[in-house]
């Protein structure tokens, strides 16, 4: 298993040294440098705890991708995840909210990090609605499927699977949840919340539609595979964006130093990449039949929590614990099933 984490461990060592240096440069004291080092470690752990279910879902998509696009996601995708979604994406949000250029927003992040954090936090209602709608839709799409025949929590999943006979049931349920959450928000932000949530839903529909279009029969098999791989790549990047922003917001509770935040979350993202690669190459999802179910339950839970966070503060550690519980329980159930059915073939 060590081979999967060699790159992540090397990145961690480099990141810790860089974090210590960033703390020393910012404070000029050993105490400040050690404090920065500690924050980097905490942020890395926070990112892994929040994104383990993301790794499982990534693996479910990657196992059906061809080797070329899988490699592209694990190289280009991780660069986009570390620097794009956790550094550039928040800067762009600040630029839009504050009506300034991206360059001015970047300068603000370094010259006045407290103001940058304040503007970013103000955008949380919109981001929570967008990310929540996208993530809940991802989870519902998995369970509300009449062709789904493997159930972990059958008393929940069988009725959900039957709902798949109704076209667009997932969209209707997400819209109901979005409206219910909007009734609890201050009237001044209701429209903002609803518009962002609808955009999140439309984004999912667009990505899913592009994926279906690209997987249509083609006279050139190679071109069809490339188009399908590109669609899956785009889907995974939007999914990662929905996951990552919560960690970025939580990071500002520990520090306003953008460099330290990028290093800490980057370390976590590298370990998520390693976990994803291990799950794909070792066939873990096939070996543990309910692990995928646990990940999608965790995604739905995260999406619902994002809705709630628009009007109630929920600590990131709670989100991480809930996701970890779903993963752990589904893994435990899978082990029990394998022991009770040693002759059963993997799904």
Instruction: Assess whether pLDDT exceeds 70 at residue 347.
Output: no
Cα dist from 314 to 250, 298, 299, 309, whole Å: 10, 15, 16, 6
Residue 281 has pLDDT above 70, yes or no: yes
Residue 305 reports pLDDT greater than 50: yes
pLDDT tier for residue 201 given thresholds of 50, 70 and 90 = very high
**CA dist 206 → 18, 212, 235, 264 (Å):** 39, 10, 10, 32
- The answer on pLDDT for 277 being more than 60 is yes
Q: Is the pLDDT of residue 278 over 70?
A: yes
pLDDT of 336 strictly over 90 = yes
Average pLDDT over every residue of 114-134: 85
- How many helices (H) and strands (E) are present in the chain, helices listed first? 16, 0
Q: Which residues contact 45 (CB under 8 A, 6 or more apart)?
A: 268
pLDDT at residue 10, as a whole number? 93
Q: CA-to-CA distance for 267 and 41, rounded, in angstroms?
A: 8
Q: Is the pLDDT of residue 250 over 80?
A: no
Question: Average pLDDT of 106-110?
Answer: 85
pLDDT at 157 over 80: yes
pLDDT on residue 307: 92
């Amino acid at each position: 298993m060590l081979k999967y984490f060699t790159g992540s461990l090397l990145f961690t060592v480099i990141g810790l040294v860089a974090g210590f240096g960033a703390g020393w440069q910012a404070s000029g004291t050993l105490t400040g440098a050690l404090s920065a080092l500690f924050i980097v470690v905490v942020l890395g752990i926070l990112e892994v705890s929040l994104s383990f279910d993301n790794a499982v879902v990534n693996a479910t998509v990657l196992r059906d991708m061809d080797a070329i696009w899988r490699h592209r996601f694990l190289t280009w995708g991780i660069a986009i995840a570390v620097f794009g979604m956790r550094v550039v994406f928040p800067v762009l949000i600040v630029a839009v909210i504050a009506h300034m250029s991206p360059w001015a927003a970047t300068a603000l992040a370094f010259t006045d990090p407290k103001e940058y954090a304040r503007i970013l936090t103000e955008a949380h209602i919109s981001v929570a609605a967008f990310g929540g709608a996208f993530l809940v839709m991802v989870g519902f799409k998995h369970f509300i499927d009449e062709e789904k025949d493997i159930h972990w929590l059958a008393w929940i999943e069988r009725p959900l699977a039957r709902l798949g006979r109704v076209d667009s049931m997932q969209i209707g349920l997400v819209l109901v949840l979005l409206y219910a959450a909007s009734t609890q928000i201050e009237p001044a932000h209701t429209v903002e919340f609803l518009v962002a949530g609808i955009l999140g839903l439309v984004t999912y529909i667009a990505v899913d539609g592009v994926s279906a279009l690209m997987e249509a029969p083609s006279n050139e098999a190679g071109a069809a595979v490339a188009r399908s791989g590109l669609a899956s790549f785009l889907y995974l990047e939007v999914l990662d964006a929905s996951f990552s922003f919560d960690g970025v917001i939580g990071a500002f509770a520990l520090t306003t130093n953008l460099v330290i935040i990028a290093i800490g979350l980057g370390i976590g993202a590298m370990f998520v990449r390693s976990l994803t690669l291990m799950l794909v190459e070792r066939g873990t999802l096939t070996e543990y039949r309910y692990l995928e179910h646990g990940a999608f339950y965790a995604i739905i839970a995260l999406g619902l929590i994002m809705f709630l966070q628009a009007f109630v503060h929920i600590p990131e550690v709670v989100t991480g614990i809930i996701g970890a519980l779903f993963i752990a329980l589904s893994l435990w159930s899978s082990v029990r099933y394998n022991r009770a059915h040693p002759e059963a073939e993997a799904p």
